[in-house]
Structure 1
């Protein structure tokens, strides 16, 4: 009889513990959802409480001030030279999640059969998740809960881990994504030959979609001569002997007309394919990588890894501690600002899309449901191989988040920069962020359950 009573009490405690775990996982997302709803109400075109131009200015503040301040203060204080070595799997995990996402995106293309000109777009939207603003918001909200399972240093470690992978994601965006989002050759030729002139909005027109500048303000200043043309396709198409006349003339002048300069000798000695690869590399906007958040990450890593510099900036007795405290106050505005901007973006609603309902559902299922399941397997295997920091639940939680977030809002800016699938990007990002409210809730509950066993 006594044994039955004890077993009953244990079952009651287990149910209570399970309910508390679910509440601990759900409450942080409810906080973020509340901020998003506030932003949605403020930006609602019927209420018109705050004009859309205000959200664009707020996005610039996040990009140029709030986010860099948060990254610098938290990453700089947490990182050391030893941590720099121990955290090596965080950027590697970004590459692994992107590779798996590309594989799932290809399967979506095969199964759902989107319009041919949107095949590469489908792969990119499935592969590249939000590795910056949204994970920072989730971590900040989770750590704001008093009974979070990550301890007293939850926020500083979580922000440091998320910030440490930012540079990898930025490099991928400005190299691989930039070229994958190039307008398809066939699509470009149809538009060009049709003689239709697409009406373009002025560069500073406040009616430009918020999604275009939500994570990359001032994108119009980054446009180059080849940003909206199928540059790579025109260069490499002649390799197969097709439409050679449409390929730009990359041949160099004869030696007698151009002199004996080292540049002309080098070009004459280069094979045609190598020369074309070099031209493509020269057109890659690698210089755009040095944006304020990236610069803040680099400064934090440099200062945090050198003990003498770190003692000068971080710590209660540091000579520049007042500067660090000021930046920390500014960084505290990042999470609410990001969620308000997200609400403003959702208030615009989905644009018309040629992607098709089946492909849209395929991307959402692959990105928000299938990829997180694969991420659990990758993180569990990595732990078995001793790739992860020992006994650090936040480290594992951040790794899992990299598989769970919807597609990066930055992809909307890249689509606008390249002039390729802008409406489709706006539509798919809208629906992904709507359904991510449910998928994030589901998987954070799962993560909290399995973290003690990973």
Structure 2
């Protein structure tokens, strides 16, 4: 439209009645105002969305950056080139965490959050640990098929894929996430998060000291080879003072827990008859089953009127050699005490609340528990500073375990938690509850597996090396999945 046409239209409008002219002017002004409002609204909406996405990203990343900073400090302090703090100090720190800081944190947070009502509502937390372990076993079996590790490490591959860290590292992540003021979990973030993580850890402890303990025994067909010295360096590492920190991190003083049969394929010897292994290398099963190691061999078996069935006798012998007593470690005892006190109102009224008689006890324990997260991350930095140990497990198997554990399993975990929520199995309107369930699928392999490997004298160097690389890769995978969890937590 040229200038002449615009002038003609304007002149025609001027010749119209004043009322009609005023109407056209107001109509055009209203259209311009609404257009301006819509433009401002769309611009503001876009900016808010961009700001919200940026804030969500920062909310998810900053807690991990805090943990990375603590880990980096520990790595610098313990690095062999600096040696600002010696290894012995980190070993003492691991003992403090295991025997003092962690139990204090568990008792104060779990005891305060636990009631008889929510104790019944949390039943899916330990079940989720079992589900994640079962799925991990399946993924480990697939890793064995695809990556084909050395035959003597097939069980080891499945174990390292199946059992994740459900203790120290999740507690550190929860503590760091709740430390930020704009966390998405509300004012009671820390107490609920620690309570949920602590409530799940005892299941993993039971599995490790029973199922994993026996699965990590030296393979029967390779036992003589190990004795003859193929893995002499590993055996020396177990008994030497230079034992890797990764091995002792969650079970300090493990060398004091060794028994006569802890480094032998005892369960395989019990349930299988073998001809190619010297009988002198193994205990006499019949003697062990009839009265312990001090029973005389010459005791006549014919006088036993009610002979125990052979299968039941073998099961009993294996059960007697299971280190079930090690389950009652300080963190587990703290969990049991917290659950008992929390579910009994009369006892809870003595320890938790304002102006209660024993508030000074819980206050002192709470102060000690506050040192747990920084101590754990400093200790992790000290472990990583030692670097990986040479391993014959193979690069393909190491990568396969890490991908299955750190990338594939979390994706399956999202589906499991979402399905459980659809079936109304989860606590309603509790984002932290879902976050902890998802974390159980995201953790690297449990450091306690390195301690069990050391106790059984089986694949100690492989476990230490694999744990090192998994925790290095976990820095990236955790960053990725925590951002994803923060995005989807309201939809799961």
TM-score category (smaller protein): over 0.9
In the superposition, relative to structure 1, how do residues 204 and 307 fare at CA in structure 2: closer, same or farther (>3 Å)? farther
Are 1:390 and 2:428 an aligned pair?
Answer: yes
In the superposition, relative to structure 1, how do residues 185 and 151 fare at CA in structure 2: closer, same or farther (>3 Å)? same
* Aligned pair partner of 2:308 in 251, 269, 284: 269
Are 1:101 and 2:139 an aligned pair?
Answer: no
* 1:104-143 → structure 2 map (5 Å cutoff): 104-143=139-178
In the alignment, the residues of structure 2 paired with residue 371 and residue 195 of structure 1 have an alpha-carbon distance, to the nearest angstrom, of 34
Aligned-pair distance for 1:194?
5.8
Point out the more displaced range, 416-425 or 181-190.
Answer: 181-190
Across the aligned residues of Structure 1 and Structure 2, the Cα RMSD in angstroms comes to: 2.1
In the alignment, the residues of structure 2 paired with residue 53 and residue 251 of structure 1 have an alpha-carbon distance, to the nearest angstrom, of 43
Are 1:257 and 2:286 an aligned pair?
Answer: no
* 1:267-346 → structure 2 map (5 Å cutoff): 268-270=307-309, 272-346=310-384
CA contact under 8 A between 2:224 and 2:277: conserved in structure 1? no
Aligned-pair distance for 1:145?
0.2
In the superposition, relative to structure 1, how do residues 4 and 242 fare at CA in structure 2: closer, same or farther (>3 Å)? farther
Aligned-pair distance for 1:251?
3.4
Q: Deviations over 1:168-208 (max 9, x none)?
A: 11100000110111111122122235698668559885422
Point out the more displaced range, 85-94 or 195-204.
Answer: 195-204
Aligned-pair distance for 1:337?
0.2
Q: Unaligned regions of 5+ residues in structure 1, if any?
A: none
TM-score by length of 1: 0.94
Are 1:402 and 2:440 an aligned pair?
Answer: yes
CA contact under 8 A between 1:62 and 1:337: conserved in structure 2? yes
CA contact under 8 A between 1:137 and 1:335: conserved in structure 2? yes
> Number of aligned pairs?
447
- Structure showing greater radius of gyration is 2
Are 1:3 and 2:38 an aligned pair?
Answer: yes
Look up the SS of the partner of 2:149 in the other structure: coil
Aligned-pair distance for 1:146?
0.4
Are 1:32 and 2:67 an aligned pair?
Answer: yes
Aligned-pair distance for 1:234?
1.2
* 1:39-438 → structure 2 map (5 Å cutoff): 39-193=74-228, 206-238=241-273, 246=279, 248-251=283-286, 257=300, 264-266=304-306, 268-270=307-309, 272-438=310-476
* Aligned pair partner of 1:16 in 38, 47, 51: 51
- State the partner residue of 2:21: none
Q: Unaligned regions of 5+ residues in structure 2, if any?
A: 1-34, 291-296
CA contact under 8 A between 2:238 and 2:457: conserved in structure 1? no
TM-score by length of 2: 0.87
In the alignment, the residues of structure 1 paired with residue 160 and residue 305 of structure 2 have an alpha-carbon distance, to the nearest angstrom, of 42
In the superposition, relative to structure 1, how do residues 196 and 65 fare at CA in structure 2: closer, same or farther (>3 Å)? closer
In the alignment, the residues of structure 2 paired with residue 201 and residue 255 of structure 1 have an alpha-carbon distance, to the nearest angstrom, of 37
